[in-house]
Amino acid sequence: MHASSFRRFAPAAAALVLLVPSANAAETIRQWQFTQSGDALELALREVPAPTPAAGEVAVRVRAVSLNRRDLMMMQGRYGRGGAAANGVPLSDGAGEVIAVGSGVTRFKVGDRVAGIFFEDWLDGDPTPAAIASARGGNSGGMLSEVVVTGGDSLVTIPAHLTYEEAATLPCVGVTAWVGLFKRGRLEAGDFVLLEGTGGVSVFGLQLAIAAGAKAIITSSSDEKLARARELGAFGTVNYRTNPDWQVAVRELTGGAGVDHVLEVGGQDTLPKALQALAHGGHIALIGGLSGFASDLPVGALMGLNATASGIYVGSRADFESLNAFLSEHEVKPIVDKVFELEEAPAAFEAMDSGDFFGKVVIRL
């Protein structure tokens, strides 16, 4: 969907609806919610009672949140894993400081800098249906709120060298890139890595790969964005608009051997070409569907390459903590391209929808 058509989902006239007014600001907070208006979804800024933590819970003053493609898909009713609930709070990714703890909480104290994990109930090990059902965003667990209350186990300490804006980019794309490259892909120094486009997962994957000593190759339709990627340390870049057979150019950059890893975010239009660029014994992490999700996995191509493919749906709290340890060790700072204020949330959604960004779009609260 183009930015020009986004207004039917978040029209400017309806974007700043303020409900449930209160004379006592200390007893209320502001949060954005999804609302239904006929056949369209809108964003409404509401004033609601300030939540307080019960036993085992933590209250967090959210300082920054970031947007993902998933959030747009929810707005458009195209998110196959479940859409936005009535009055649900948008966004899965946010960071802030602990302002209150309930009885029995031992992992955090007031003043700690934290981020919410993507799945509130996936702490470690393999996921369960219940854990997957606990994904934040579009529900009561959404982060686009001045204060959120969540289980004490559903947070991680953020790296000391990151700002809140930078830390807010980690829960979804950071963990996804980490799991795809390191946990599933077992990336090693010297490996070739293919990143598709310059959105959140791809740019984060670029940074992680470079920090680990791998050779990152990234594609984009923008020469300006490719120049920024080279400034970050990309080994090679390919403009897929001027070079529609970009998979050939990618393979040439590897000396003909092919790439060892692919973070596959494009979907049905890019998967066949990504496989043509893949090395024998390589790994492809199936993450997104910007062009629509591929319905058929080319098993023959995978078998011919003796390659592996993994479906990646973010990761656990333990994965998040492993990512944070890596970021701290290598002092990696996520790329925040655009920052909006709380009242400008609809504009942030439009910026995300436009594709005119490099890295992440963030809202500051």
338-348 average pLDDT score = 97
pLDDT on residue 1: 35
Pure H helices in 260-344: 271-277, 299-305, 317-330
Q: Give the mean pLDDT of the chain.
A: 89
- With cut-offs at 50, 70 and 90, classify the pLDDT of residue 87: confident
Packing angle between helix 317-330 and helix 200-211, nearest 10 degrees?
Answer: 60
The answer to whether 286 and 307 are in contact (CB under 8 A) is: no
Check whether 19 has a pLDDT greater than 50: no
14-40 average pLDDT score = 61
Does domain 185-311 fall into CATH 3.40.605.10?
Answer: no
Q: Please, which residues have CB within 8 angstroms of residue 227's CB and are 6 or more apart in sequence?
A: none
Tell me how far the alpha carbon of residue 114 is from its chain's centroid. Answer: 17
Check whether 156 has a pLDDT greater than 80: yes
In this structure, which CATH number among 3.40.50.300, 3.90.180.10, 3.10.450.40, 3.40.718.10 belongs to the domain 3-169+334-364?
3.90.180.10
CA 304 – CA 236 distance, rounded (Å): 26
The answer to whether 179 and 319 are in contact (CB under 8 A) is: yes
Query: Fold identical between 3-169+334-364 and 185-311?
Result: no
DSSP state of 152: G
Q: How many helices (H) and strands (E) does the chain have?
A: 13, 15
* 20-29, 112-121, 279-288: range with highest mean pLDDT: 112-121
Per domain, the residue ranges of the chain are 3-169+334-364, 185-311
